[in-house]
Each structure stands twice: as structure tokens, then as C-alpha cells.
């Protein structure tokens, strides 16, 4: 038994050796393979280190890029906020624009309405314009006609002025020249009555006396006509004059008549007046001598003369300008007067209310008075009742 056991042990050792040799070969194979693998690993390591190196670089790059991206992200956040704000603003603006737009739409509508109205109004105006043009054309024609008529009137007026001047000159010259032969007739009558007295029958003498009276009336008529035309032709020179002096002169002229009529002239409180003295003397003379002539035979003649400066609105006469000042002159008598219906007519030429046998006169005296008042741009009125005296009111502009 031990040999068997040793024999068995050697086999086992051989087998283990063989196994170990195999394992050794295997291990060498493995080592070679490990060498190769190692070399491979070294290579791979190298590669991996290169890769690692590259990765480090790439990593750095990524870190940098990351930083950049964060910066960009930050900038984008800010830009984003800004955009959000702008967006808000734009929305607000948009809201406002919507409101404004609505308003514009409304206004637009209104404007269209207005435009429509204007179109209508425009049509109306165009129509009216047409009408006006027609009217204007008619007016131009009417105007031309008026201008023509005006020219004709001016011509006629100029002709009338000339005719009037000629007429006055004619009146003056004829009156003047008429005096000459009339005076001859009168003188010859007196020569005959004086020298041929004994040769004339009573009837013949009477007829000569009647002839003398008629010639006397004609003389008065011519003189009055001359006076009437003279006040139209002579110069009109206005002066501030004292009426009292004029009246005193007239009283002196009419002294004899005043004595016959026991007349009193009561002329006080006379304001000075802006008058043509020569003409006004004639005017006052005519009025006073009329008052004396038409005095009542049963009572003394009493003539009141007053004058004062009064504003037109105080004078109760619509024909006077209320703002102007007038010299209001009154001549009032207590004579026979006249019926009120004659108050205008007495101022007309040749108008008489009595026959020449009762009251001598030519009917020119008051026409002269009126003409003189008109030469003074004034007016005269007469007021009377039969047997109750007469009042003459004159209004002469005082400015």
C-alpha cells in the first residue's frame, strides 16, 4: 500500500505537473495576451488621456460658452422685460387708438352728415347766386337808366338855374325900364293938371286924377317887383346884427304912419341874430308896416316883437331840426287879422285878402318876407283869427 499510494501520488504529480506546465503556457499566453492587452491599454490610456486632454479643452470651451450663454440669457431677460414693457405700452396705445378710432369714425359720420348738409346749402347758395346775378344784371340796367335819368335831371336843373337867373334878370331889368315911361306919364299928367287946369272940364280933371292913381299903383307894383327880384339876386352876406337897431330905424321911417295909428311897438329882450342885415330890415319893415296897415280903426295899434335863441326840440315844430339852435322871432299885432284858412296863401305873390280900395297894396310884401326867411334858411308861420290880431313866428338858424 504505500507504493501504490506513492505510485498513485507520482501519477497525480505528473498530472499536476502537466497541469502546471499547461497552466504555465496558458499563463504565458495570458501574459502575452496581457502584454498585448496592456499595450493596448497603454495605447488606449494614451488615447484616453488625449481624449481627456481634449475633453478638458472642450470642457473649458463649454464653460466659456456656458458663461457666454448665461450673459446672453441675462441680456435676453433684460430685453425680454423691455419687450414686455413695450408690449404693455403698445397695448395701452392700441386701446387708446381703438378709442380714438371710434371717435374718428363718429366724427367721420358727423362730417359726412355735415358735408351732405353743405352740399344742400351749396345748391341753395348756387341757386341764390344765380338769382342774385339775375337781380344784379337787372340792377345794372336799372342803374344805367337811373344814371341816365339823373343826367337828364341835372341838365334840366342846370337849365332851370339858368332860366331862373334869366327870369330874375328879366324881372329886374324890365321893372327898371318900366319905371321910366311910367314916370313920364305921371309927370305929364301933373304938367297938364298944372298948366292946362283952366282948359279942362271937371270930368276931364277927374279922369286925369284917376289916371294918376292908377299910375301910382303901377309904380308901387313895379317897385315891389323890383324889391322881390332884388332879394333873389343880391349878395347874401350874413352878419351878427342887433334887431333892436333895425327896429329903431324902421320906427323912424314909419314915424308918420305910427302917429296916425297911435301905434306902439313893444320890442324888448331881443337877442342878436345871424342875418343878412339889408334883407332883414326889409323883412321887419314889411311885417311892421303890414301890422300898421291892417290895424283896427277902433283901437291903437300895438305891435309886440320878441326874439330869443331856442333849441329846435323846444319849438313844437316838426319841420325844425331838434338839435339845431334857432333864433325865434315873433311879430304880433292886435289888428284885423285874417281867417285861419289863409295862413299859407298870404305868403304867395300877388295874393291879397282885401280890395285895393279898402287896403292899398300889391300883394308882394309877405312874399318878400317869406323869400327873405328862406334866404336865411329859416321858416315862417302865420297864425290868426279874424279881428283877433296876427302873429308871425320866424325861425332863423342860429348856429
Chain residues that interact with other proteins, rule: CB under 8 A: 176, 179-180, 182-184, 186-191, 194, 215, 219, 226, 230, 234, 278
Provide CB contacts within 8 A for 219, sequence distance 6+: 179, 182, 183, 186
CB 238 within 8 A of CB 276: yes
Cα–Cα distance, 267 to 251 (Å, whole number): 11
Cα–Cα distance, 229 to 304 (Å, whole number): 29
Cα–Cα distance, 41 to 49 (Å, whole number): 11
Cα–Cα distance, 282 to 276 (Å, whole number): 10
- Judged by CB, which is closer to other proteins: 331, or 364? 364
The CB-of-199 to other proteins minimum distance in angstroms stands at 16
- Judged by CB, which is closer to other proteins: 113, or 176? 176
The CB-of-174 to other proteins minimum distance in angstroms stands at 12
- Judged by CB, which is closer to other proteins: 208, or 326? 208
The CB-of-224 to other proteins minimum distance in angstroms stands at 13
Q: What is the DSSP letter of 272?
A: P
Cα–Cα distance, 291 to 267 (Å, whole number): 14
CB neighbours of residue 225 within 10 Å? 21
The CB-of-179 to other proteins minimum distance in angstroms stands at 5
Angle at 251 between CA 364 and CA 254, to 5 degrees: 55
- Judged by CB, which is closer to other proteins: 27, or 210? 210
The CB-of-153 to other proteins minimum distance in angstroms stands at 35
CB 282 within 8 A of CB 227: yes
- Please report how many Cα atoms fall inside a 13 Å half-sphere around the Cα of residue 76, on the Cβ side: 6
The CB-of-252 to other proteins minimum distance in angstroms stands at 12
- Judged by CB, which is closer to other proteins: 285, or 294? 285
The CB-of-173 to other proteins minimum distance in angstroms stands at 11
CB 235 within 8 A of CB 253: no
- Judged by CB, which is closer to other proteins: 180, or 323? 180
Nine cell digits for residue 354: 282885401
- Judged by CB, which is closer to other proteins: 175, or 334? 175
Amino acid at each position: 500500500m504505500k507504493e501504490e499510494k506513492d505510485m498513485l501520488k507520482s501519477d497525480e504529480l505528473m498530472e499536476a505537473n502537466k497541469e502546471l506546465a499547461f497552466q504555465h503556457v496558458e499563463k504565458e499566453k495570458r501574459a502575452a495576451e496581457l502584454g498585448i492587452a496592456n499595450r493596448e491599454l497603454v495605447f488606449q490610456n494614451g488615447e484616453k488621456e488625449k481624449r481627456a486632454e481634449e475633453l478638458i479643452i472642450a470642457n473649458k470651451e463649454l464653460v466659456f460658452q456656458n458663461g457666454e450663454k448665461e450673459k446672453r440669457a441675462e441680456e435676453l431677460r433684460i430685453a425680454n422685460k423691455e419687450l414686455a414693457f413695450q408690449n404693455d405700452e403698445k397695448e395701452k396705445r392700441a386701446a387708446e387708438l381703438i378709442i380714438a378710432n371710434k371717435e374718428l369714425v363718429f366724427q367721420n359720420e358727423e362730417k359726412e352728415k355735415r358735408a351732405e348738409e353743405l352740399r344742400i346749402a351749396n345748391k341753395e347758395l348756387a341757386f341764390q347766386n344765380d338769382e342774385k346775378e339775375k337781380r344784379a344784371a337787372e340792377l345794372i340796367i336799372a342803374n344805367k337808366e337811373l344814371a341816365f335819368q339823373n343826367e337828364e335831371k341835372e341838365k334840366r336843373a342846370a337849365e332851370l338855374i339858368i332860366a331862373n337867373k334869366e327870369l330874375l334878370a328879366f324881372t329886374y331889368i324890365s321893372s327898371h325900364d318900366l319905371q321910366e315911361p311910367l314916370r313920364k306919364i305921371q309927370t305929364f299928367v301933373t304938367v297938364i293938371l298944372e298948366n292946362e287946369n283952366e282948359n279942362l272940364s271937371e270930368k276931364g280933371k277927374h279922369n286925369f286924377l284917376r289916371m294918376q292913381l292908377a299910375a301910382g299903383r303901377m309904380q308901387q307894383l313895379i317897385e315891389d317887383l323890383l324889391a322881390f327880384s332884388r332879394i333873389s339876386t343880391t349878395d347874401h352876406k350874413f352878419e351878427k346884427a342887433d334887431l333892436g337897431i333895425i327896429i329903431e330905424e324902421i320906427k323912424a321911417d314909419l314915424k308918420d304912419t305910427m302917429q296916425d295909428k297911435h301905434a306902439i311897438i313893444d320890442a324888448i329882450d331881443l337877442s342878436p341874430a345871424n342875418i343878412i342885415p339889408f334883407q332883414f330890415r326889409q323883412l321887419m319893415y314889411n311885417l311892421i308896416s303890414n301890422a300898421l296897415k291892417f290895424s283896427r280903426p277902433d283901437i291903437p295899434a300895438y305891435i309886440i316883437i320878441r326874439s330869443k335863441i331856442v333849441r329846435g326840440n323846444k319849438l313844437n315844430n316838426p319841420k325844425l331840426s331838434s338839435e339845431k339852435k334857432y333864433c325865434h322871432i315873433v311879430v304880433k299885432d292886435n289888428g284885423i287879422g285874417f281867417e285861419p284858412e289863409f295862413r299859407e296863401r298870404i305868403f304867395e305873390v300877388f295874393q291879397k285878402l282885401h280890395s285895393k280900395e279898402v287896403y292899398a297894396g300889391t300883394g308882394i310884401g309877405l312874399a318878400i318876407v317869406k323869400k327873405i326867411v328862406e334866404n336865411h334858411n329859416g321858416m315862417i308861420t302865420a297864425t290868426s283869427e279874424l279881428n283877433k290880431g296876427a302873429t308871425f313866428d320866424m325861425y332863423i338858424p342860429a348856429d
